[in-house]
């Protein structure tokens, strides 16, 4: 399965429902503490029911909604690239579409509701939002057990295999084919009625593995960012068919041995008390319920003298994480993948030099390009953002007082810029963005005529675009102070940025920076862009 959309409601700062489209590589950008990590943590709660890296409790309920009596945290996900068939009844294969478990677009829409932000099993409701029959005669077939389905089959006089529930449901829906009245329906798959509980138990096994790597972690052997990559690898390894078959064989042999010991014990007990022996029987857990991965929960990477890497500095730990993703990119390129995986990384640039950031983003792009793999990141690094595509970026901003997530569409620069993203989303002004825009516009002007490389000629180009020469710039040439000459505000600001050593000019004000930047943005948006 591939994650297409995540939506959250009443979770921390997200008061109203917010949907985020997810691509193979998705980067969440925005101000500090705006809610980027909240989205990735919501996904961890969704995939792990609040028992993974992130725990959920009542303090996660949106404060404003809580005051109004709304205590239900809602986290949902929509999946595409679904399995062709699934086994819902015993060993009988069926299609999700034939069970009417898909939405109008043919996707699987799963919503989890956490009552009062509680992660107890009894407090979690799971719904599949599907385009499902609403005709009272056939709308609750998934909630019915074998006997209930048989009664309907016999009442309608339908001939079919009555030992297979999926076949009986299909036969009944076929009978009402012209009157199904399909409509949007939240189907409670956490219910214990009929086959519905089994439906979710089986579908859950098809979900992607979700691995969250946080930027701030404790220096402990049991909880650190260095161990997590290895744990993620272990989880994926245990899903491989060859490993599953080997474990099933081990389970079968152990089960036989345990059963033999239990039988001998009960036989001896029968000699002393037949009544007690008849009331006892060995309870052996199923192979599916065994937590094989826990055997390796102590897995760690150690350096010289067996000193755990997690005891090293944050830079070293993040370097290990960086190279895990580089290794994964190479491994997944050559190996078969049996499991869909989502890697979610908070601020991958943390404690890394620019050259390492470039290596990292290239590894993440390569990783996201592999089949059955998606990458989700948050970032404040312009170095990372400018190496991504526009389609990778999602802006988090406050719209009319509420948090919202919107695709980022650049209308100024030819490559993604965090400075432009912040300008568009928050109206942030920065000398870095001014620098980028000024250089970009001069390069565009030079595609018209190479003479615009010279400042005086580019000044004329700016004047032609509506800029005004209303400032005087004092230049220093070979150590000599030159007479002041009129320049546009845009060039004045640019020169102040590039020549901080020149003390003969008054620094520009914040208002002047905004005025200059707004004009450059206006010019850039009006350009017919030529490839540079």
pLDDT in tens, 191-226: 777 667 778 888 888 899 898 888 754 434 444 444
Q: Is residue 382 part of a domain?
A: no
CA dist list (Å): 143 to 92, 175, 176, 198: 18, 18, 18, 10
- The rounded percent of the chain whose pLDDT value lies above 90 is 49
Provide mean pLDDT across the span 54-73. 94
Provide mean pLDDT across the span 385-408. 84
Q: Give the DSSP letter of residue 375.
A: E
Last-in-domain residue among 153, 181, 211: 211
Whole-number Å distance between alpha carbons of 28 and 414: 19
Would you state the pLDDT for residue 532? 41
Last-in-domain residue among 154, 181, 211: 211
Question: Does residue 145 carry a pLDDT above 70?
Answer: yes
Q: Is 35 exposed, middle or buried (0-12, 13-18, 19+ CB in 10 A)?
A: buried
Provide mean pLDDT across the span 376-389. 84
**Model confidence pTM above 0.75:** yes
Q: Is residue 339 part of a domain?
A: no
Each residue's pLDDT tens digit, 295-327: 777 666 666 566 565 666 666 766 777 777 777
Provide mean pLDDT across the span 349-371. 83
Token pair listed for 27: 């980067």
- The rounded percent of the chain whose pLDDT value lies above 70 is 88
Q: Is residue 414 part of a domain?
A: no
Token pair listed for 335: 């190996």
Please count the other Cβ atoms lying within 10 Å of the Cβ belonging to residue 154.
10
Q: Is residue 158 part of a domain?
A: yes
Each residue's pLDDT tens digit, 430-469: 999 999 999 999 999 999 999 999 999 999 999 999 999 9
pLDDT confidence bin for 515, thresholds 50/70/90: very high
Whole-number Å distance between alpha carbons of 420 and 137: 57
Q: How many domains does the chain fold into?
A: 2
Would you state the pLDDT for residue 221? 41
Domain membership of residue 170 as a residue range:
2-211
Would you state the pLDDT for residue 485? 95
Q: Is residue 241 part of a domain?
A: no
Would you state the pLDDT for residue 110? 98
Whole-number Å distance between alpha carbons of 426 and 435: 19
Would you state the pLDDT for residue 313? 62
List the end-to-end C-alpha distance of the chain, in Å, as a whole number: 40
pLDDT confidence bin for 228, thresholds 50/70/90: low
Q: Is residue 32 part of a domain?
A: yes
User: In angstroms, what is the C-alpha Rg of the chain?
Assistant: 31
The length of the chain, given as a count of residues: 532
CA dist list (Å): 83 to 95, 198, 208, 338, 458: 8, 17, 12, 12, 59
Token pair listed for 16: 């109203």
Q: Is residue 395 part of a domain?
A: no
Q: Is residue 478 part of a domain?
A: yes
Provide mean pLDDT across the span 174-203. 87
3-class state of residue 471 by DSSP = strand
Last-in-domain residue among 165, 184, 211: 211
Would you state the pLDDT for residue 226? 41
Beta strand 393-399 pairing with 25-29: parallel
Provide mean pLDDT across the span 165-175. 95
Each residue's pLDDT tens digit, 69-123: 999 999 999 999 998 888 877 668 889 999 999 999 999 999 999 999 998 888 9
Each residue's pLDDT tens digit, 244-284: 888 888 888 888 888 888 888 878 777 777 777 676 677 77
């Amino acid at each position: 399965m591939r994650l297409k959309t995540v939506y959250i409601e009443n979770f921390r700062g997200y008061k109203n429902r917010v949907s985020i489209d997810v691509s193979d590589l998705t980067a969440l950008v925005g101000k500090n503490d705006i809610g980027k990590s909240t989205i990735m943590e919501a996904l961890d709660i969704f995939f792990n029911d609040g028992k993974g890296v992130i725990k959920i409790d009542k303090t996660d309920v949106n404060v404003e909604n809580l005051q109004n009596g709304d205590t239900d945290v809602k986290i949902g996900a929509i999946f595409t690239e679904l399995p062709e068939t699934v086994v819902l009844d015993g060993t009988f294969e069926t299609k999700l579409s034939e069970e009417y478990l898909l939405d109008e677009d043919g996707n699987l829409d799963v919503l989890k509701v956490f009552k009062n932000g509680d992660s107890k099993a009894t407090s979690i409701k799971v719904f599949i939002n599907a385009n499902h029959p609403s005709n009272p005669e056939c709308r609750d077939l998934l909630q019915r057990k074998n006997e209930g389905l048989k009664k309907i089959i016999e009442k309608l006089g339908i001939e079919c295999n009555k030992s297979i529930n999926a076949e009986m449901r299909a036969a009944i829906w076929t009978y009402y084919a012209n009157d199904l009245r399909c409509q949007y329906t939240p189907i409670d798959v956490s219910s214990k009625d009929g086959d519905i509980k089994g439906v979710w138990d089986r579908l859950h096994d098809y979900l992607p593995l979700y691995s969250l790597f946080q930027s701030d972690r404790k220096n402990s052997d049991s909880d650190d960012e260095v161990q997590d990559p290895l744990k993620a690898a272990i989880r994926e390894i245990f899903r491989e068919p060859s490993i599953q078959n080997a474990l099933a064989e081990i389970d079968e042999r152990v089960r036989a041995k345990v059963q033999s010991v239990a039988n001998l014990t009960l036989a001896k007990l029968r000699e002393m008390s037949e009544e007690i022996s008849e009331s006892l029987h060995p309870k052996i857990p199923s192979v599916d319920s065994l937590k094989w991965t826990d055997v390796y929960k102590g897995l760690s990477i150690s350096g010289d003298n067996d000193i755990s890497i997690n005891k090293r500095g944050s830079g070293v730990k993040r370097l290990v994480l960086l190279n895990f993703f580089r290794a994964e990119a190479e491994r997944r390129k050559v190996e078969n993948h049996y499991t869909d995986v989502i890697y979610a990384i908070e601020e991958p640039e943390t404690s890394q030099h620019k050259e390492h950031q470039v290596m990292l983003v290239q590894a993440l792009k390569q990783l996201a390009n592999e089949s059955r793999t998606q990458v989700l990141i948050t970032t404040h690094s312009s170095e990372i953002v400018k190496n991504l595509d526009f389609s990778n970026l999602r802006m988090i901003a406050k719209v009319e007082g509420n948090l919202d997530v919107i695709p980022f569409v650049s209308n100024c620069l030819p490559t993604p810029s965090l400075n432009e993203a912040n300008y568009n989303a928050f109206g942030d002004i920065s000398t870095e963005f001014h620098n980028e825009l000024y250089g970009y516009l001069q390069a565009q002007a030079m595609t018209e005529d190479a003479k615009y490389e010279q400042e005086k000629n580019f000044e004329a180009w700016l004047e032609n675009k509506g800029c005004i020469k209303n400032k005087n710039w004092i230049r220093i040439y070979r150590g000599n102070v030159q007479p002041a000459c009129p320049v546009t505000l845009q060039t004045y600001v640019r020169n102040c940025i590039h020549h901080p050593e020149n003390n003969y000019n008054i620094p520009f004000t914040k208002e002047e920076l905004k005025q200059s930047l707004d004009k450059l943005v206006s010019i850039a948006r009006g350009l017919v862009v030529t490839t540079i």
